Amino acid sequence: MHIMEGFLPVKHAIGWSVVSAPVVACGLYAINKKIKEQPEHRMLLGVAAAFTFVLSALKLPSVTGSCSHPTGTGLGAILFGSAAMAPIGAVVLLFQAILLAHGGLTTLGANIFSMAIVGPLAAAAIFRMAKTAKLPFGISVFLAASLGDLLTYVTTSAQLALAFPDPVGGFAASFAKFAAVFAVTQIPLAISEGLLTVVVFNALARFNPQELKEMNVVTVQGA
């Protein structure tokens, strides 16, 4: 989902940066507040960041014959809320943009918007809806993480379609082309991300039930 360096027209690059910057700032504020309230959750925040590091480094093959990577932002969004993931995702994207020439500084704002804002927002919202609908915990986590992942790539497709509308079909035709590259490739990877997120939550539920309860992720279940 990384839009490559220089591949967004200047106006779009600036626009997405302007949109993303305040969200990242809000996220920093939210993280600070959470850590001040419950300093013992600092380690879990590290886990959320580490999970994003691992998953966004894993380029997995997909049925379309191309490779892409999951985002790993669903875990942190469920644990800490979507705002907290904006700065974490930004750090990962910055690392990749500077050291790996993967993504870029001019496209950082747009990439933050898709991976660190839309994805986590969707994941947190879906998780809350699934919880309200009383779906089993594992299913809720799976849906949140995998759909958040997929929506990140849908967002990237939309961003590119906005920047490069098809000369004939306009935004819609262009969106279809980019989505064919990104979103379709992403479907199996989104499933993988959903499954891996459930694996981590199973481990947390077993060994850190106290933390999950404090963070309102699980409603009291006796254990």
Partner 1 sequence: MKRYQNLLLMIAVVVLAAVPLRMLEKPAPGPDGKVVEIFKGADDQAKNVIHEIAPGYRPWFKPLMAPPGEEINTLFFTLQAALGAGFIGYYLGMSVTRARMRRELDKEAEC
**Among residues 14, 18, 63, 139, the one that binds partner 1 under rule CB under 8 A:** 63
By CB under 8 A, the residues from 10 to 39 that bind partner 1 are 10
Which residue, 125 or 181, has its beta carbon nearer to partner 1?
181
Question: What long-range pairs does 209-218 form, CB within 8 A, spacing at least 24?
Answer: 211/40, 211/41, 211/44, 214/38, 214/41, 215/41, 215/44, 215/79, 215/80, 217/78, 217/79, 218/137
Cβ of residue 53: shortest distance to partner 1, in angstroms?
Answer: 3
Which residue, 29 or 59, has its beta carbon nearer to partner 1?
59
By CB under 8 A, the residues from 117 to 156 that bind partner 1 are 138, 156
**Ramachandran region of residue 222, left (φ > 0), alpha (ψ -120 to 50) or beta?**
left
Q: Beta partners for 170?
A: 166
Q: Is 172 in the site for partner 1 (CB under 8 A)?
A: no
What gap in Å lies between CA 166 and CA 48, rounded to an integer?
38
Query: H/E element holding 61?
Result: strand 60-61
Which residue, 6 or 22, has its beta carbon nearer to partner 1?
6
Which residue, 28 or 187, has its beta carbon nearer to partner 1?
187
Q: Please state, as a whole number, how many other Cβ atoms lie within 10 Å of the Cβ of residue 207.
A: 9
Q: What is the x/- site pattern for partner 1, positions 85-124, by CB under 8 A? A: -------x--xxxxxxxx-xxx------------------
| Phi, psi (deg, nearest 5) at residue 8 | -120, 135
Which residue, 20 or 52, has its beta carbon nearer to partner 1?
52
**Which positions ≥6 away from 53 have C-beta within 8 Å?**
72, 92
Q: Is 43 in the site for partner 1 (CB under 8 A)?
A: yes
Q: Is 52 in the site for partner 1 (CB under 8 A)?
A: yes
Q: Which DSSP state fits 163?
A: H
Tokens found for residue 198 = 């459930």
Options 29-37, 80-88, 117-125, 170-178: segment touching partner 1 (CB under 8 A): 170-178
Cβ of residue 164: shortest distance to partner 1, in angstroms?
Answer: 5
**Among residues 21, 191, 214, 218, the one that binds partner 1 under rule CB under 8 A:** 191
Q: Is 202 in the site for partner 1 (CB under 8 A)?
A: yes
Q: Is 195 in the site for partner 1 (CB under 8 A)?
A: yes
